[in-house]
Amino acid sequence: MNTQELVFEIGCEDIPARFVQVALDDLHARFLSACKDARINAEAHAFATPRRLTLLATLAASQKDLEEVRTGPPMAAAFRDGQPTKAASGFAAGQGVAVEDLFSVQTEKGEYVAAKVFEAGKPTAEVLPRLLEGLIAQTNFPKSMRWGDRKETFARPVRWIVAVFAGEQIPVEWAGVKSGNITYGHRFAAPAPISVSGHESYRNGLANAHVVLDTEKRREIIREGLSKVAAEAGGHVISDEALLDEVVYLVEDPYVLLVRYDETYLELPPEVLISSMRSHQRYFALQGADGKLIAACGVVYNTPVRDPAVVAAGNLRVLKARLDDAKFFWSQDLKASLEDYNRKLETVVWLKQIGTMDERARRMTKTAVAIASELGLETAVVNAANRAGELSKADLATGMVSEFPDLQGVMGREYAKAAGESAEVARAIYEQYLPKGADAEVPTSHAGACLSLAEKLDSLVGCFGIGLVPTASADPYALRRAALGVLRVLQAMEYTIGLKTLIELAFEAYDASSLKLSREEVVAQVSEFVSTRLRHSLVQAHPTELVDAVLAVGLNDVLSVSDRVEALSTIKNLPDFEPLTQGFKRVVNILKKQDAASLDVNADLLQDPAEKSLFEAVTAAEAKMQAAIEARDWAGACQTLIALKAPVDQFFETVMVMAEDDALRANRIALLARTRSLFFKVADLSV
C-alpha cells in the first residue's frame, strides 16, 4: 500500500498547561476516527508543547473504494404495476444509478428496493483540507476563548497552521489563518521560521530550534535535572506527579536549577512551604534522608541562559516574597483563637438554601458523634470527634487558608496543635478532607474517619435534599468524589455500619424544613447514587453480573459488598455454580408468583424424601451461614450455597410445589422462601 507522511501542527499562543493533554488526546482520537470515516488507512502520533498541538501521521495515498448496498423505500411504494414511482426515481438519482439497476432486498420490515453503489476513492490530498479544518474547529478544551473579531473559539489564539502531506502543502484555513509549510521554534531562543517537508525535517528543525517535541522526553529531562539538583542539595525530590504533569506543558526546552532559601523559613509547617512553592511558583520541594524539608527547591525554566545564577536569583526573589507572606499569615493567624475564627464562619455562606459554614460545622459535629456512637467507639473517640467537628472549619476564616486554599484542614490541624488541642483532635481536623482522590491517603484515626464521613455525607444529603444533583457533564459540588470518599473510608476502616443508617444520621442533623425532599426521598436517592459509584468501581475488576447480583440484595453493609463479589468470583467457574444459579432462578420465579406468608416450615408436613432432604440441608446451611457471616468468611458462605445444589435439584425433580392441598403447598413455598433467604445473605443470583 502506497503511504505518505502528514505533518499537521496547530501553532498558538501558550495553552494553559492543564488543558494540553486533554486537547491532545481528543485531537488524536478524532483524527483517527475521521480518517476511518473517510476510508483512509492511518497511523498517527500526537505531540504537544505549550505553543503547538501536532500530529505526525502516515496515511494511505488515497481513500479506499466504496462499494455498498443502500436500502431505499419499500418495494410497494417504489413500484406500482411494475412501473417505477417518483420514490424509486428519486432514490436512484440520489444514489447515482439508473432505475433499471435497482433491485429488491428482504428486511425485517419487509421488501425494500436497494441500489449497489460504487464510489472510487479520491486522493487523500483532496480529502484532507476539510478533514483538518474540522479537527481544529472541534478540538475540545475545558475552556475556550474568542479573539479579535473572530467567531471561532480555541484555548488560545491560533497563529499558524502547518499542513504538509507527501511533501506538498495542503490548503487549510481556519479563523483567518492559512496553512503553510512554516513552523517556529522556541519563542526567544530560536524564533526564526522553519521550513517543513516531512516528519524528519519537522523533528530536526524543532530540535535545532530549542524545542523538545516529545512530552516524555521533556518529562525525563526534568526528572533527571531534579534528581541532579536534589543530590547537590543533599536530599531528594518530594514526589509530585501532578506537578510534573503540569510543568511538562509549561516548557518547550526544559532546564532545572537549584534555588536555596533561608533556613529560618523551615520554622513554618512543611505543607505551607510546599504549597507556597508548588501552587504559586511550580517549584519542586526537596527533603533530606530524615524526611524533613531542605531549605532548597528545584526550579524548572524554559530558556537557555548564559548564567543560570541570574535565573536562580530572580526565582529566589519571587519565592522569598511568597514565603514572607506565608510567615506573616502564620504569625497573624496565631494571634486569634480558633473560637474567634468560628465566629467569623457565621457570615460565610456555604449554600444559600441550607446555611452558613458555621451551621455546616455544627451539623458535621452532630453527625460525627452519632456515627462514632453507632459504631460503639470508645468515649475518648466520641469526644475527639465532637471537638474536632466544632473546630473543623475554623481555618477557613484564617489569612493563610484565604491565600492558600489547598491548605484547608492542614492549617486547621496546625492551628489546633498550636492552641493546645490534643493530637487526636488535630489529626481528625486534617483527616476530614481525606481521601482527596481515588488512590489518595485515607483517614487512619477513628475520630478522623467519623468526621470525614460526616463531612461527605453532609454534602450529599444537603445537595440532594435541595435538588443539586450531579449531571453527566457537571458536578460542581464534587458529590461523586464525596460518594467515593464515603466508600473508601468505610472500607479502609472496616466499618460495618449500614449505608442507609449513615445517610439517616446525616439527615437528622439537618433542619428538615430547609430541604425540599423528605427523609425517605433523600435516603433513597443518596443510597442509589453511592451504590452506582460502588458498582462502577467493582465492575472494573469483577464480572458485571456478579456485582449486580450482590448489589441486588442491598447495600446496607458496604464493607461486605466487595468481599462477597470476590468470594463469588472464586466459585464462579466451579462446575456446580451455573446449575446452582439455574436452580435458584427456579426458586425465585416460583416465589414471584406466590410468595410465602411465613418462613416457618412444618416438618410434619414434609412427605417426599427430596423435600425432607432440602429441609435438612437448609437448616444445616442456616447455622453455617450465620457462623460464616459473623466471621466475615464470605468464601465459606459461598461454599455453603454450593452445597445446596444437589438437594435443590432433587427437590425440583421429584416434588410438586403447587400441590392441591393448601397446607402442603404453603409448607413447600415456605421451604423455598427459606432457601431464597439463604442466598440473599450473599447475592441474588437470579438477576
Positions of E strands within 244-362: 255-260, 284-287, 293-301, 349-351, 355-356
Sheet holding 42-49, edge to edge: 42-49, 52-60, 3-12, 158-165, 168-169
**In this structure, what C-alpha cell is assigned to residue 304?**
537557555
435 has a pLDDT exceeding 90: yes
**From the CB of residue 192, how many other CB atoms can be counted at a distance below 10 Å?**
7
Same domain, 99 and 199: no
Element (H, E) at 598: none
Quick one: 323 and 398 in the same domain? no
**What's residue 173's pLDDT?**
96
**24 three-state secondary structure:** helix
The residue assigned the cell 455453603 is 640
Residue 327 and residue 411 in one domain: no
Under a CB-based contact definition with an 8 Å cutoff, are residues 96 and 130 in contact?
no
Q: 611 in a domain, yes or no? A: yes
Q: What is the pLDDT of residues 463-500, one digit of tens each?
A: 999 999 998 888 999 999 999 999 999 999 999 898 99
**Does residue 519 have a pLDDT over 70?**
yes
Which residue among 207, 238, 260 closes a domain?
207
Beta carbons within 10 angstroms of residue 59's beta carbon: 24
- Do 148 and 249 belong to one domain? no
- Please tell me the distance from the alpha carbon of residue 14 to that of residue 440, in angstroms, as a whole number: 31
More confident residue, 369 or 109: 369
Q: Does residue 557 lie in a domain region? A: no
Between 636 and 554, name the one with better pLDDT: 636
* pLDDT computed for residue 1 by the predictor: 65
Look at residue 553 and tell me if it is in a domain.
no
Q: pLDDT tens digits for 12-25?
A: 999 999 999 999 99
Contact at 8 Å (CB) between 9 and 117?
no
Among the three residues 76, 102, 119, which one is the final residue of a domain in this structure?
Answer: 119
Q: What is the pLDDT of residue 251?
A: 97
Q: Tell me whether residue 354 is in a domain.
A: yes
Q: Cell for 497?
A: 455500619
Q: Would residue 167 count as lying in a domain? A: yes
Rounded Cα distance between 91 and 112, Å, is 12
Residue that is written with C-alpha cell 457471616 in the block: 629
Task: Report, as an integer, the average pLDDT of 242-250.
Answer: 96
Greatest alpha-carbon pair distance for the chain in Å reads 101
Question: Which pLDDT score is estimated for 606?
Answer: 87
Angle between helices 577-593 and 662-680 (to 10 degrees): 130
Q: Are residues 259 and 194 in the same domain?
A: no
Q: In terms of residue numbers, what domain contains 521? A: 340-538
Asked if residue 8 belongs to a domain, the reply is yes
Residue range 379-433, pLDDT digits in tens: 999 999 999 999 999 999 999 999 999 999 999 999 999 999 999 999 999 999 9
* Judgement on whether residues 398 and 513 belong to the same structural domain of the protein: yes
Say yes or no to pLDDT of 306 above 70: yes
State the Cα–Cα distance between residues 584 and 676, nearest whole angstrom.
7
How far apart are alpha carbons 279 and 423 in whole angstroms? 28
Residues 6 or more apart whose CB falls under 8 angstroms from that of 51 comprise: 11, 12, 13, 14, 15, 184, 187, 252
Whether 244 and 344 map to the same domain: the answer is no
Q: How many domains does the chain have?
A: 5
pLDDT band per the 50, 70, 90 thresholds, residue 553: confident
Do 107 and 145 lie in one domain? The reply is no
pLDDT of residue 574: 86
Q: Over 70: is that where the pLDDT of 211 sits?
A: yes
pLDDT given for residue 572 in this prediction: 86
Mean of the pLDDT values across residues 83-111? 88
247 and 360 share one domain: no
In-domain check, residue 673:
yes
Banded pLDDT at 102 (limits 50, 70, 90): confident
Q: Is 21 part of any domain?
A: yes
Query: Residue 247 and residue 493: Cα distance in Å, rounded?
Result: 36
| Whether residues 577 and 656 fall in one domain | yes
User: Do strands 293-301 and 349-351 pair parallel, antiparallel, or not at all (unpaired)?
Assistant: unpaired
| Residue 542 pLDDT grade (very low, low, confident, very high; cuts 50, 70, 90) | confident
638-665 pLDDT, tens digit each: 999 899 989 999 988 898 888 888 888 8
Q: Of 287, 315, 333, which residue sits at a domain end?
A: 333
Do 103 and 170 fall within a single domain?
no
CB 680 within 8 A of CB 622: no
Residue 442 C-alpha cell reads as 485515607
Average pLDDT over residues 252-273: 96
Residues of the chain with pLDDT > 70: what percent?
100
Closest CA to 21 of 203, 245, 183, 214: 245
* Higher local confidence (pLDDT), 104 or 598: 104
Closest CA to 103 of 77, 80, 72, 81: 72
Amino acid at 413: R
Query: Looking at the structure, do residues 475 and 444 belong to the same domain, yes or no?
Result: yes
pLDDT band for 137, please (50, 70, 90 cuts).
Answer: very high
